[in-house]
Structure 1
Amino acid sequence: MAEASIVMPAQGHEEARARRLQWRMLVGFVVGLLAGLAAHYGAAGQPWVDEVIFYLGKVGDIFLRLLFMLVIPLLVSALIVGVAEMGEMRALKTVGLRTLIYTIVVSSIAVVISLLVVNLLQPGAGVDPEVARSLIADGAERAGSIIQTSREAKAGADAIVAIVPNNFFLAMSQNDVLAVMFFALFFGIGLMMVQTPQTQALKTAIEGVFEVAMKLIGLVIRLAPIAIFCFMFNLGAQFGVDLLVRLSAFVGVVLLALGLQMFVVFPILLKTLAGKSPIAFFRETQEATVMAFSTASSNATLPTALRVARNQLHLPDRVARFVLTIGATANQNGTAMFEGVTVIFLAQFFGVDLTLQQQIMVMAVCILGGIGTAGVPAGSLPVIALILAMVGVPPAGIGLVLGVDRFLDMCRTTLNVIGDLVAATVVSAGIDDRPEGDSPG
């Protein structure tokens, strides 16, 4: 009881701090945008405006470089540990394999939906090409070697071969995200297959890297309100009120994509694969839905989701605990969809025409990135920034979406949590050899 009394206030403190940070980010977004619009309409062409844009851009550069510095160790450690833990318990190897297959397939569906919607509706199109080109050139100069590397990416069959790195450390130094993730997945499978005291110690060490990376990213994210102000001032000063129109379209497209996954894909999966009434499922998971939406945290909602899985959905404890715990990190449909829509939206906004091959690459990184995204405020930011650099879009453009991230985070977290419960329901239905002791009571 004493330990619980210590943990609960600490958890409440973390949630309160996260809420304060989210409000500060919103304030930074609004104030930066209003100041930028004032400069755009009240002091257009003044030399001091260009100077302010230049120095605020440098502040944004520091923020982005801190994120780029941490994103590779974060993704590698998260992916290795996430895959390794799927086969940690012998009795759940079958469940782990089915969960992995389900996660990849459903996440692929989610990202395909998001890419189709954002390509059909084109929320980021229509910006002045001259302004877009100037921002692309400025962003390319600031992003430096990362964007240059992305422009030298291989095409066709060579691109597929390049996914398998011949030198992992070289792939990391070149920010080759797909190659790094392939190694992490492959290494995680090996760590899952070899169960010795030595590999357990190795896994513990990698978990330590993940925890350190998450902590450091949490510290960097505290600077986000300042960076958002800088990004929004610069973009508002150059784009004017057109920025507001494009941003509202972006929010609408994200909500549409999330809604299609929640109310079309999930009911089909429940009915066809689990024989479960979608109406009954959504009614039984109302508690988890409210908790996820209000806290915007999959980790904070996990205890509620476990209770719903046992008492409302009547799923076997062992299956529910495994799938929901792994799903809190690996099965993030909402995050993957948000990343896909955001990348394509910003590409349209800045006038970058992505080929089908580039969009497929974006889809693959979003699927894998959803597994490695940190559970911190704006946790998908590093993945989005790195993908933008890979495809030649100014990474500073992420400042456009961070200000509305509070509401979108609530929505995509709800989709993530409900998606985990859908996964647990489907995987449970596919397990025929359940032990007798796995009653919901």
Structure 2
Amino acid sequence: MIAGIIIGALLQWLFDDSGDFSFSVFGLHVSTYALLVEGIFNVVGSIFIASLKMLVVPLVFVSLVCGTSSLSDPSKLGRLGGKSILLYVATTAIAISLAVSFALLVAPGDGLNLTSESTYVAKEAPSLGQVIINMMPTNPINAMAEGNMLQIIVFSVFFGIAMSMTGDAGKRLTAVFEDLSTVVMKLVTILMNLAPYGVFVLMAKLFATIGFDTIASLLKYFLLVVFVLFVHAFVSYPIILKVLSGLSPLILIRKMRDAALFAFSTSSSSATLPITLETAIKKLGVKRTVASFTVPLGSTINMDGTAIMQGVATVFIAQVYSVDLSLSDYMMVILTATLASIGTAGVPGVGLIMLAMVLQQVNLPVEGIALIIGVDRLLDMTRTAVNVTGDCMVACIVAKSENELDLDIYNDPDAGKKDEEVDFEHFDRNS
């Protein structure tokens, strides 16, 4: 990651307005910058992200079916769902409240006369009722093809429950899904050996193209969002974990390092899902019956980082446009952003769509999003890291409450490390 940042910054510095190094190949004029950034870095990075997204649907479907089919008590699934959703909504409400409070205290938009020639055309955000309706798949195969995670989760839960109630046929099918789960997790392990190269090209491309002059003009806003994200990750989460489960927050934060850095690189909760799930099971000791439900659900509805951005951005835009918001307006921002996070997909940049919905609720100009869009890519990376940390934190709390947490694995600093490497040099094809 560090190497990618340095290389990307150097490329931007070398190939600025002073010119570019170019050469000819078979009579074609080739730009060095374009070859590296738009060519090699773009192709390798896109393939790497695509390979991760390739795993998401089979991983969620197979893991969730295995988890629900193994539940002997159907009421346990209701408890898991109730606890998970309640915790996710609560942490999001805390996140947006922190964001609005700090933004009002710091006032990042006061005194700024920012103008932008660009415009932001917001897509229409779905209503909460429509989000609930859309959770039920009319065609589960189509939902898998489109990567509609809420519909996949609902279908997987129903399918797993049906398997658990079908007797011998269900048991035979459960054995097949257990084997499929083992194979998919091994595929995750293999792809993780390619992660350093994928992360390098992603970071190099980003820092070769991002405009640092834009960050300078929005430095106060940028630093405030990052500050609130850090407060939520290193203060709110540890307090919630300690109070509700008694577990050590330091262990959680230390073991989340790899998954958080990976989320930072990809800016996608969905793309990071295989790593998040593996971290919860192998490093934190969350039993698969709990992890396979809470973690995919969290990657879909737990958007604390996005809520923080929405809170700070709303106050920032209101101050830039000199619009005074009342207490009831701020309460509406908190409520809307909390509910909007349920309908936020785990893909890069989608938070801006939800921000448009929040701005419309308090009659702020949606065009104000154009002011902050230049630095949103970097902030998107940071808030994704916070989101996946929250997913595992909730998984640990729910697992502890259901006696489905292996404390030996949780407290073992080396847990999960032995499964991270694949020896390709001595790889036996027949084994």
Tell me whether 1:83 sits opposite 2:64 in the alignment.
yes
Deviations 1:275-324 (A, max 9, x none): xxxxxx35xx3784575367768756867866xxxxxxxxxxxxx85677
Distance 1:60 1:246 in 2: 30
State the one-letter code of the partner of 1:74. L
What are the residue-to-residue correspondences of 1:141-152 with 2, within 5 Å? Answer: 151=123
Cα distance change on mapping 1:246 and 1:223 into 2, 3 Å: farther
For the residue of structure 1 that corresponds to 2:173, the secondary structure is helix
Cα distance change on mapping 1:402 and 1:34 into 2, 3 Å: farther
Where does residue 28 of structure 1 map in the other structure?
4
Where does residue 136 of structure 2 map in the other structure?
164
Task: Give the TM-score, by structure 1 length.
Answer: 0.54
Tell me whether 1:340 sits opposite 2:319 in the alignment.
no
1:115 corresponds, among 84, 96, 100, to: 96
2:87 corresponds, among 98, 106, 123, to: 106
What are the residue-to-residue correspondences of 1:9-408 with 2, within 5 Å? Answer: 25-33=1-9, 36=12, 38=13, 43=16, 56=37, 62=43, 65-66=46-47, 69-70=50-51, 73-89=54-70, 95-121=76-102, 133=118, 151=123, 155=127, 157-174=129-146, 176-194=148-166, 195-202=170-177, 204-205=179-180, 208-209=183-184, 211-212=186-187, 215-216=190-191, 219=194, 222-237=197-212, 239=214, 241-242=216-217, 246-259=221-234, 261-262=236-237, 264-266=239-241, 269=244, 281=246, 285=248, 288-289=251-252, 292=255, 329=295, 336-337=302-303, 339-340=305-306, 344=310, 359=337, 363-364=341-342, 383-385=346-348, 387=350, 400-401=378-379
Contact 2:69/2:174 (CA < 8 Å) preserved in 1? no
- 1:159 CA drift (Å): 4.8
Contact 1:26/1:404 (CA < 8 Å) preserved in 2? no
Cα distance change on mapping 1:417 and 1:257 into 2, 3 Å: same
Cα distance change on mapping 1:95 and 1:287 into 2, 3 Å: farther
For the residue of structure 2 that corresponds to 1:133, the secondary structure is coil
Distance 2:390 2:189 in 1: 23
Cα distance change on mapping 1:233 and 1:263 into 2, 3 Å: same
Deviations 1:344-393 (A, max 9, x none): 49987998xxx999845752256xx7xxxxxxxxxxxxx34274597699
> Cα RMSD (Å) of the superposition?
5.5
Distance 1:159 1:414 in 2: 24
Where does residue 326 of structure 2 map in the other structure?
none
State the one-letter code of the partner of 2:341. M
In structure 2, stretches of 5+ residues that fail to align are 22-30, 261-275, 318-332, 357-368, 405-431
Contact 2:237/2:390 (CA < 8 Å) preserved in 1? yes
- 1:197 CA drift (Å): 0.7
Where does residue 426 of structure 1 map in the other structure?
401
Where does residue 424 of structure 2 map in the other structure?
none
Contact 2:304/2:387 (CA < 8 Å) preserved in 1? yes
Distance 2:388 2:75 in 1: 27
Judge which range, 229-238 or 165-174, deviates more: 165-174
Contact 1:114/1:257 (CA < 8 Å) preserved in 2? yes
Contact 2:98/2:228 (CA < 8 Å) preserved in 1? yes
Deviations 1:146-204 (A, max 9, x none): xxxx9376556445433333334444555545444444444444455542313432453
Contact 2:143/2:151 (CA < 8 Å) preserved in 1? yes
State the one-letter code of the partner of 1:113. I
For the residue of structure 2 that corresponds to 1:151, the secondary structure is coil
- 1:401 CA drift (Å): 5.0
Distance 2:308 2:32 in 1: 27
Count residues in correspondence: 343
State the one-letter code of the partner of 1:427. E
Contact 2:298/2:391 (CA < 8 Å) preserved in 1? yes
Contact 1:82/1:326 (CA < 8 Å) preserved in 2? yes
Distance 1:424 1:347 in 2: 35
Contact 1:57/1:231 (CA < 8 Å) preserved in 2? no
Contact 2:67/2:160 (CA < 8 Å) preserved in 1? no
State the one-letter code of the partner of 1:110. T
State the one-letter code of the partner of 2:208. F
Judge which range, 85-94 or 226-235, deviates more: 85-94
Deviations 1:204-226 (A, max 9, x none): 33664565367447636632222
Distance 1:119 1:67 in 2: 36
Distance 2:340 2:98 in 1: 15
Task: Give the TM-score, by structure 2 length.
Answer: 0.55
Contact 1:163/1:178 (CA < 8 Å) preserved in 2? yes
Distance 1:118 1:63 in 2: 36
Give the structure with the larger helix fraction.
1
Distance 1:364 1:217 in 2: 29
RCO higher in structure (CA 8 A, sep ≥6): 1
Judge which range, 258-267 or 391-400, deviates more: 391-400
State the one-letter code of the partner of 1:100. G
State the one-letter code of the partner of 1:385. P
State the one-letter code of the partner of 1:250. V
Where does residue 4 of structure 1 map in the other structure?
none
Distance 1:197 1:108 in 2: 37
